Amino acid sequence: MHFLSVSLSQGNLILASILKMKSTPSLQQLITGAQNDSETQSKSSCQEEEDMTTSPTSDTVFCDGRKHGSLYSLNSTCTESGNFGKANITGEIEFALKYNFRACILEVCIKGCRNLAYGEEKKKKCNPYVKVYLLPDKSPWSKRKTAVKKSTVDPEFDETLKYKIEYSQLRSRQLQISVWHAGALKYRVFLGEVVIPLAAWNFEEDSMQLLDWYPLKPKLEKPEDELIQYSGELLVSARLSVPAQYQNLQFEGNRDQGVLNCQLQVMIFGAKNLPMLRSAGMLNSFVKGCLILPDQAEVKQKSPVLKKEACPQWKHLFVFDGVTLAQLQRSCLHLTVWHKSTFSSSDQFLGGAKLGAKEFFGSMDLVSQAVLQWQEVLCNPNTWMDFTLVLHSNKENFKS
């Protein structure tokens, strides 16, 4: 094991400087929002859906602008209980996608459906509503729903459901829009869905923001592996610190980059949507950082443990000292989140994320985004870069 020395006083000075001189409203707003969501979630019971026969809450947004906000499902992690039926998938759904770049909000405008199948064929009965998830997140934080429209196979919803999300994160997400029939006693029937890969959606093109009809399709029998590994999000800021005499150096393709002594600094702000462990109750969480260098040496860092925090905010600085740009261009940083067990000697893995060179990633990883983010840090020396990293639950893919 190869460890690089870290100056405690130097790290404290850097940390103080960051907290004093650099504000990160986008990250802090996300953390604050996650805390509020957690507080609300803890008050809800373990039910599949709220009573869909009630009128929309004040959080519903209509296309004509009469109300504002976003429709949140306030369920616990038990989100799919109840009785479910099957129907032949027919019909279409009309919706539009927009992105508010100034407010960092994804808007899903649900106009209506036509020619839906009956949720209860024998009774010729259909009470449709639309449910939306921002995959790979299938948690209550990700769920949005419209109101139920009674006794119709051609419902008009005219509602807009919103997500607060950074534009850079959309490329790793898929939008799942599904239609359901709400029967009595929590009887639900799936009426079809549309799944939109947001990486291929051009939000800057006006024509892509118009309402359009999309055919409803059956559920995928085998979801993509990367869509079921979501384990929350880690909010970080990273920069490559280089000596003052090299600040104006063009790093890409420079032959002298191997002799530069740099410093990789990673500020761990916090996490949101971490999985709750039934056996543990509230989380006692901490973060491990493992920088894997080209010679397979591992440089490790660890944050303090925050006890009984559902949405922890560590605000802890990792400093990897004495590295060169040439090394970092062929390195990979693993960031993993853990629960410190009270009654066990082994800590529990909650999720992990990577940033690094392409050769460190397997085919199922979000290669393009992780590599792009890593290059963004290396190509912008002495500049803090903010990221919201999607945590994945496959422990075997990470070193700690």
CB 99 within 8 A of CB 163: no
CB 301 within 8 A of CB 5: no
pLDDT of amino acid 57 = 32
CATH fit for domain 52-224, picks 3.40.50.720, 2.60.40.2240, 2.60.40.150, 2.40.110.10: 2.60.40.150
The DSSP output letter for 206 is G
pLDDT of amino acid 73 = 32
The tens digit of pLDDT for each residue in 199-224 reads 768 888 887 788 999 999 998 655 44
The tens digit of pLDDT for each residue in 228-263 reads 466 788 999 999 998 876 666 555 444 445 556 889
**CATH architecture for the domain at 8-38+229-397:** Sandwich (2.60)
Q: Per residue in 347-364, is it b (16+ CB within 10 Å) or e — as a string?
A: bbbbbbbbbbbeebbeee
List CB contacts of 315: < 8 A, sequence separation 6 or more.
15, 19, 267, 268, 269, 270
The C-alpha atoms of residue 197 and residue 241 are separated, in whole angstroms, by 36
Q: How far is the first Cα of the chain from the last one, in angstroms, to the nearest whole number?
A: 12
The tens digit of pLDDT for each residue in 130-181 reads 999 998 788 888 899 999 999 999 999 999 999 999 887 787 788 999 999 9
Output the pTM of the full model: 0.53
Q: Where are the domains of the chain?
A: 8-38+229-397, 52-224
Give residue 12's pLDDT band: very low, low, confident or very high (50, 70, 90).
Answer: low
Tokens of residue 220, six digits? 């995928």
pLDDT of amino acid 176 = 93
